[in-house]
């Protein structure tokens, strides 16, 4: 059982390494960074306490929001999805990403206190 | 049809009448005496002599030594001044047998003053002087002069003087327009709370208006356009002040009082009960004083009780019962109708003269009685009812000889009846208390005795139940019965018996301290909100480092993936975009530390729009570079078209 799981994982990693374009890999690295940041914040909250709660919430929401926006960017940039995003050029996707981030950070900084 | 109209009109008028005002302020006999005293002060000059003499004559009082006064007037008269002539003429007319010498010059001076160029006050003075001295005058000229002055001087006092002047003119003159001024002036009165009606110029103006309006109305024999309620409101305003600042104010009040008590149209009636409006068996007569505003009894009045009903039960006791006049006071023997004790609402009507205003009065009359206590039975009842109760009867005002014992096995009980002394009707007064007083410790406990459905009062003391009120202190308590009510003439405090109470588990605190209610209480220390417990700085710092650490990981990964800035074109839009973007991030930090949302949005708008424009250009250039392969661009366009 574990053997098949291990082989699936190694196959997946191999496929990923070879077929994913560099751009997407960079975004994936960014996603991993955001994920880890969010996890560490949550860990702090669980271990030490929820004070100050608003700061925790704003930081956590920031991570979650950034993750989602980055995922959207990744989907829109992926050349394999070009059919689904004919009106959205990669530049447009990036511009949307930046704008959404501005709004997200405005809210996050307001709430962090 | 006509009958129906008449009937409905009658009903309407009755309804309106019952809602009419009654005067809340009026002069009492002491006030009238005070007014006389003010007006009787020795006068210093001609003006004060005029006020005193004429004022007193309006009150029906004549100056003591008329000759002395006449000489004073003559010596202070200045024949060249219209004002002086006015005061002298009016004052001498009020005195009997006082003559002012009149020369042709005086007459010419007075006649010349009657013109449009003199003020209303001057016209008033000259016309009054001419009429008081018995000199002829041309009424029509005066009327036209007055009309001209009224339109020029539109103030209240001028119009009042015009009204006064018009009342001295011949009845044949055309006084119609001036008469209409009464209505205009009445419209200028300020209604204060529906109770007072007065000019903003003050009391004197209001009082002078009343006397001028009625003297002119009497002169032309036309009813003044003042409604009954307005007349009563004027009465309230004028007679609410009981001490007067100046002689002229006192004079104006005296003139108003004189004109209201003696004119052809409206005579306000003042009804007041003599003493408290209360009757009892010892004082069975309800006495009312019915006077005019000068406290003179109304001779032609007949007073009638239209209806009298009990306030509590609303049952009618009297209907259409007349008062009898005795020694200037109207009285009615109310006790003859044998009313039960309590409060009664009387509706009294004063008739006899069609001029009476406010002749329906509502009065609240109290009927008092004496109370007697019957069948006071004291008993000690065993709780388990094994031994029958021993009842002792006590007669008021004696005290029971033996004292009663009550401990935890027994209840002490008391029953009695409260009746009207004369009629024997059962009463339920407001206050029926049973007071137990411990003479040794000074402790006092009060209970309420309640009547049952048959109006028999019962009081039961259960020592076990009530030990908290007594603080479980055993001892001899003096028992008092307290009965009181507003309608009782003889409130009762009766020491009925002594009761020895025994409580279980006696704490015996020794002496009772009077409940310290008014001693300073312990100070309250305010507890400020404790700040929340924060984790130690080490922990926070460690986790901050931990949270920031993935950034390092990101940089490492990106480096490994081969991220570079080789495609970085140094075009202005690119540089501007990157600067703008960095500025936006910097703004976020500054927002966190210093700014508020509004300032941030302002700066963000500026930087953001710059960044957007630059970024748009930059990305467009990038896109163009990417689509440098035309074919790809064509494919892109065709796909776009297909999507449509």
- What rounded mean pLDDT belongs to chain B? 84
- pLDDT of amino acid B169: 87
- pLDDT of amino acid B308: 85
What are the chain B neighbours of A53 within 8 Å (beta carbons)? none
Using N-to-C axis directions, what is the helix angle for B597-626 and A90-112, rounded to 10°? 160
- In angstroms, the CA B216 to CA B186 distance is 14
What are the chain B neighbours of A86 within 8 Å (beta carbons)? 636, 639-640, 643
- In angstroms, the CA B39 to CA B94 distance is 14
Q: ipTM of this predicted complex?
A: 0.85
Q: Nearest 10 degrees: CA dihedral of A33, A36, A40, A42?
A: 110
| B549 close to A (CB below 8 A) | yes
The residue in chain A having the minimum alpha-carbon distance to the alpha carbon of residue B563 is: A26
Q: What is the pLDDT of residues B186-238, one digit of tens each?
A: 899 999 998 999 899 889 999 999 999 999 999 888 888 888 889 999 999 99
Pairing type for strands B360-367 and B342-351 reads antiparallel
Yes or no, beta carbons of A44 and B551 under 8 Å apart: no
The residue in chain A having the minimum alpha-carbon distance to the alpha carbon of residue B556 is: A29
- pLDDT of amino acid A16: 86
Asked if pLDDT for residue B15 goes beyond 50, the answer is no
H helical segments located in chain A: 2-19, 22-47, 53-77, 90-112
Q: What is the pLDDT of residues B359-409, one digit of tens each?
A: 888 888 888 888 888 888 888 888 777 666 778 888 888 888 888 888 777
| B604 close to A (CB below 8 A) | yes
Q: Where are the beta strands (DSSP E) in B369-491?
A: 371-382, 390-394, 404-406, 410-420, 431-438, 444-448, 450-451, 456-462, 475-484
Using N-to-C axis directions, what is the helix angle for B156-166 and B176-187, rounded to 10°? 140
- In angstroms, the CA B210 to CA B195 distance is 17
**Nearest CB partner across the interface for B554, out of A33, A87, A95:** A33
What are the chain B neighbours of A59 within 8 Å (beta carbons)? 547
Please name the residue that has the structure tokens 């953001």: B608
Q: What is the pLDDT of residues A34-49, one digit of tens each?
A: 999 999 999 988 888 8
| Spatial CA neighbour of B333 closest among B360, B370, B305 | B305
Q: What is the pLDDT of residues B550-577, one digit of tens each?
A: 899 888 888 888 777 766 777 888 888 8
Asked if pLDDT for residue B586 goes beyond 70, the answer is yes
- pLDDT of amino acid B13: 46
Asked if pLDDT for residue A100 goes beyond 90, the answer is yes
Inter-CA distances, B631 with B356, B399, B599, B625, B641, Å:
114, 128, 48, 13, 15
Asked if pLDDT for residue B6 goes beyond 80, the answer is no
What are the chain B neighbours of A32 within 8 Å (beta carbons)? 550, 553-554, 557
- pLDDT of amino acid B214: 92
The residue in chain B having the minimum alpha-carbon distance to the alpha carbon of residue A59 is: B547
For residue B547, give how far its alpha carbon lies from the nearest alpha carbon of chain A (Å): 5
- pLDDT of amino acid B506: 60
What are the chain A neighbours of B600 within 8 Å (beta carbons)? 106
Domain edges within chain A: 21-112
């Amino acid at each position: 059982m574990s053997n098949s799981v291990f082989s699936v994982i190694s196959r997946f990693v191999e496929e990923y390494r070879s077929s994913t374009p560099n751009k997407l890999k960079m975004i994936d690295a960014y996603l991993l960074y955001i994920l880890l940041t969010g996890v560490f914040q949550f860990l702090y909250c669980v271990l030490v306490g929820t004070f100050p709660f608003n700061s925790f919430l704003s930081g956590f929401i920031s991570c979650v929001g950034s993750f989602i926006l980055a995922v959207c960017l990744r989907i829109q940039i992926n050349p394999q999805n070009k059919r689904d995003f004919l009106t959205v050029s990669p530049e447009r996707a990036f511009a949307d990403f930046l704008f959404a981030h501005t709004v997200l950070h405005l809210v996050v900084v307001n709430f962090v206190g | 049809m006509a009958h129906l109209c008449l009937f409905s009109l009658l009903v309407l008028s009755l309804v309106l009448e019952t809602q009419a005002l009654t005067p809340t302020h009026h002069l009492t006999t002491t006030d009238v005496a005070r007014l006389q005293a003010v007006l009787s002060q020795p006068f210093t000059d001609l003006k004060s002599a005029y006020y005193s003499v004429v004022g007193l004559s309006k009150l029906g009082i004549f100056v003591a030594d008329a000759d002395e006064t006449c000489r004073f007037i003559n010596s202070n008269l200045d024949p060249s001044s219209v004002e002086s002539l006015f005061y002298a003429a009016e004052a001498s007319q009020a005195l009997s047998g006082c003559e002012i010498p009149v020369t042709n010059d005086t007459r010419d001076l007075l006649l010349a003053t009657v013109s449009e160029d003199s003020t209303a006050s001057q016209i008033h003075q000259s016309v009054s002087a001419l009429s008081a001295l018995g000199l002829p005058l041309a009424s029509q000229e005066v009327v036209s002069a007055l009309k001209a002055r009224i339109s020029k001087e539109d103030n209240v006092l001028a119009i009042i003087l015009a009204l006064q002047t018009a009342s001295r003119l011949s009845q044949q003159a055309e006084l119609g327009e001036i008469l209409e001024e009464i209505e205009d002036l009445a419209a200028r009165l300020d209604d204060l709370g529906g109770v007072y009606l007065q000019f903003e110029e003050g009391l004197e103006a209001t009082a002078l208006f009343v006397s001028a309006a009625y003297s002119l109305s009497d002169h032309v024999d036309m009813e003044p356009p003042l409604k009954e309620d307005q007349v009563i409101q004027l009465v309230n305003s004028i007679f609410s002040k009981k001490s007067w600042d100046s002689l002229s104010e006192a004079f104006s009040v005296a003139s108003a009082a004189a004109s209201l008590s003696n004119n052809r149209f409206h005579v306000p009636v003042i009804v007041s009960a003599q003493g408290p409006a209360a009757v009892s068996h010892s004082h069975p007569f309800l006495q009312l004083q019915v006077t005019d505003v000068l406290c003179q009894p109304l001779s032609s009045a007949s007073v009638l009780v239209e209806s009298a009903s009990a306030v509590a039960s609303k049952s009618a006791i009297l209907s259409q019962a007349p008062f009898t006049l005795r020694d200037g006071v109207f009285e009615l023997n109310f006790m003859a109708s044998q009313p039960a004790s309590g409060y009664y609402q009387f509706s009294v009507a004063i008739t006899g003269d069609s001029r009476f205003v406010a002749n329906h009065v509502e009065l609240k009359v109290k009927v008092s009685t004496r109370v007697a206590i019957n069948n006071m039975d004291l008993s000690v009842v065993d709780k388990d009812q094994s031994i029958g109760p021993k009842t002792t009867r006590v007669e008021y005002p004696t005290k029971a000889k033996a004292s009663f014992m009550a401990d935890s096995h027994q209840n002490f009980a008391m029953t009695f009846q409260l009746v009207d002394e004369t009629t024997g009707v059962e009463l339920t007064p407001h206050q029926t208390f049973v007071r137990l007083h411990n003479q040794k410790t000074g402790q006092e406990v009060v209970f309420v005795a309640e009547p049952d459905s048959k109006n028999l009062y019962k009081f039961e003391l259960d020592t076990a139940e009530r030990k908290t009120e007594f603080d479980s202190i055993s001892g001899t308590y003096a028992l008092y019965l307290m009965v009181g009510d507003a309608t009782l003439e003889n409130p009762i405090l009766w020491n009925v018996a002594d009761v020895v109470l025994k409580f279980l588990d006696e704490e015996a605190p020794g002496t009772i301290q009077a409940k310290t209610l008014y001693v300073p209480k312990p100070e309250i220390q305010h507890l400020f909100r404790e700040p929340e417990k924060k984790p130690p700085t080490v922990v926070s710092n460690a986790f901050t480092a931990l949270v920031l650490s993935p950034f390092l990981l990101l940089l490492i990964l990106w480096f490994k993936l081969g991220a570079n800035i080789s495609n970085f074109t140094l075009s202005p839009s690119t540089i501007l975009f990157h600067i703008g973007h960095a500025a936006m991030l910097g703004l976020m930090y500054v927002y966190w530390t210093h700014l508020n949302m509004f300032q941030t949005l302002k700066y963000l708008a500026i930087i953001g729009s710059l960044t957007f424009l630059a970024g748009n250009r930059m990305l467009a250039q990038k896109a163009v570079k990417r689509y440098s392969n035309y074919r790809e661009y064509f494919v892109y366009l065709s796909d776009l078209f297909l999507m449509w």
